[in-house]
Chain A
Amino acid sequence: MILVNKDPLTFLYLYGYRIGNEYFVTMWSRLKKFFIETGDLSFFAARYFKEALKPPFEFRELLRQCYQMGNRSLFLVGITGFIIGLVLTLQSRPTLIQFGAVSWMPNMVGISIVREVGPVITALICAGRIASGIGAELGSMRVTEQIDAMEVSGTNPFKYLVVTRILATTLMLPILVVFGDLLALYGSALVENIKGGVSFQLYFNTVFNALNFSDLVPATIKSFFFGFIIGLVGCYKGYYCKKGTAGVGVAANTAVVMASLLLFLVDFIAVFIADIFYEL
């Protein structure tokens, strides 16, 4: 290469510039793609609201989806919540003891779980479990022309497949979050019970006294949005799946990535807005 003939400093400079430039260009094109996708996703969401409000409604399919979603992720959410509660408490204990504030444990863990950790962890798990599942399921239905077959037999596939799934995730995620929260608190209480001799009753009493209405409301609203995003992204990726079996894998995979990214984005916005209200 020509670059090698230059003195080391020029070489470093030019080479560094080239790499930096390439990095910038790929980052930029990725960012552009992300924004275009988000735009498409908004159109998809708009279509969802339009179709969801128009009869006929697919109640039976909605119930079936709700049941399946709960059933598929209840165990996973429970066990993860429990371990998070356990670990969070174990990790904070030494520091709190140092400051002589270990009696504040229920307040600290309770608030962080209910406000932030519970909803985010549950949503991330559901993004991995449900968004990818929906992406793969609808993707393979698209590839094998099952979605076309529905259309031809007079059932609106958007209503039957997409609307029911998005509604189901929106309704089910808050329930899963509450379940995850409770198990996380139980895990935390277990540590305090074993290590600090705090009774479960005292622990939970302290937690519930520490929690305000203003902790619960934003967390619940946030959970609905998380559920909406998980269903929306999964359906969007599956419904517009590329032909071919490779397309199904891509749909499932990108559904998880995009859902997780958007979850954090929404979480950031939610925390930002909630913070404004706390200040008031």
Chain B
Amino acid sequence: MENKDQIKYKAEKPDLGTVIEIRDLRKRFGDNHVLNGFNLTLKKGSNLVIMGKSGSGKSVMIKCIVGLVAPDSGTVKILGKEINNLDREAMDELRLDIGFLFQGSALYDSMTVRENLEFPMRRHKKKLGINKNTEPLVLEALENVGLAHAIDLMPSELSGGMKRRVALARSLILKPKVILYDEPTSGLDPITSKEIIELMHRIQKIYGTASLIITHDVDCARVISDRIILLVDGINYAEGTYAELSKSTDPKVAAFFKK
């Protein structure tokens, strides 16, 4: 069974338009089987939305992609590189091309907004050809999210929505090729959520990045998705466009789109 699968995948031509490819991802914590063979393909410049109940393993899956969680089995390929085979150095290099927006923003609360944005650059200055003065880059990223005036504030002085926008600016500052959003609108009021979604749209246009968006916000999925994957019981239970899935009569699928 496994052998056949492997042969099948090898036969596939390498697709240069694929940014992230996950095959048969499995992960369990003790007896808690979280992912049971999850598959996913993210194409260049597209928006893929993952929906699932809370606790269904969405965060675990997205953390497997950036190497924060080690999967039990399965392969994760980013920009053609299989991350299981990479050492720390190579992984850090690859992470240059990946933006990650954490569920709770995860701003460094002992640093100012400016220092938060400078932090991703500290390891990569030479490679990026950034000279000592990082100010223009920081300002540009902050202007993109409309928060240039907050540059010298501490995270504790920001509202939830502002924090999320600063976090977004931080994950964009190195101009990644792909951005992973873990519930970008969770914990925000509907109006701020809408603003964040618009912002994600705008940024997508400016930078032309591919995005993988985890959400359980149906509005967010409708506005932003090219394709949607429903993560149920640790597998991709259903896959399709918003229009296709919202018409589905499968009870587990329909439950997501019920108003």
Q: Which stretch from A16-24, A94-102, A149-157 is at the chain B interface?
A: A149-157
Shortest CB-to-CB span from A194 to chain B, Å, is 46
**Per-position binary interface string of chain B over residues 20-62, scored 1 when its CB falls under 8 Å from any chain A CB and 0 otherwise:** 0000000000000000000000000000000000000000000
Q: Are B106 and A154 in contact (CB under 8 A)?
A: no
**Per-position binary interface string of chain A over residues 144-162, scored 1 when its CB falls under 8 Å from any chain B CB and 0 otherwise:** 1110111111111000000
CB interface residues, A 120-161, toward B, < 8 Å: 137, 140-141, 144-146, 148-156
Q: Are A154 and B96 in contact (CB under 8 A)?
A: yes
Contact of A146 among B96, B100, B108 (CB under 8 A): B108
- What would 16 A/B residue contacts be, using CB atoms closer than 8 Å? A137-B110, A140-B109, A141-B108, A144-B104, A144-B109, A146-B107, A146-B109, A150-B119, A152-B98, A153-B120, A154-B92, A154-B95, A154-B96, A154-B123, A154-B124, A156-B88
Name B's interface SS.
loop
Query: From A64, which residue of chain B is reached at the shortest CB distance?
Result: B110
Q: Are A149 and B106 in contact (CB under 8 A)?
A: yes
Q: Are A155 and B119 in contact (CB under 8 A)?
A: yes
CB within 8 Å for A149 and B88 given contacts A154-B95, A155-B122: no
Q: Are B102 and A153 in contact (CB under 8 A)?
A: no
CB interface residues, B 62-111, toward A, < 8 Å: 63, 66-68, 88, 92, 95-96, 98, 100, 102-104, 106-110
Report how far A52 CA is from B117 CA in the complex, Å.
26
Q: Are B120 and A154 in contact (CB under 8 A)?
A: yes
Q: Are B100 and A149 in contact (CB under 8 A)?
A: yes
Q: Are A155 and B123 in contact (CB under 8 A)?
A: yes
Seen from chain B, the residues whose Cβ lies within 8 Å of a Cβ on chain A are: 63, 66-68, 88, 92, 95-96, 98, 100, 102-104, 106-110, 119-120, 122-124, 170
Interface size on A, residues (CB 8 A): 15
Report how far A146 CA is from B102 CA in the complex, Å.
9
Shortest CB-to-CB span from A50 to chain B, Å, is 12
Report how far A144 CA is from B92 CA in the complex, Å.
21
Interface centre among A137, A141, A151 (most CB of B within 10 A): A151
Other A-B pairs, 4, CB within 8 Å; known A146-B107, A150-B108: A144-B109, A145-B103, A148-B102, A149-B102
Query: From B98, which residue of chain A is reached at the shortest CB distance?
Result: A152
Q: Are B88 and A152 in contact (CB under 8 A)?
A: no
Residue numbers in B under 8 Å from A149 (CB-CB): 100, 102, 106, 108
CB within 8 Å for A152 and B109 given contacts A144-B104, A145-B103, A145-B104: no
Report how far A148 CA is from B98 CA in the complex, Å.
14
Across the A-B interface, give the 3 residue pairs with the lowest CB-CB distance, nearest first: A153-B120, A145-B106, A154-B92
Shortest CB-to-CB span from A36 to chain B, Å, is 17
**Per-position binary interface string of chain A over residues 219-246, scored 1 when its CB falls under 8 Å from any chain B CB and 0 otherwise:** 0000000000000000000000000000
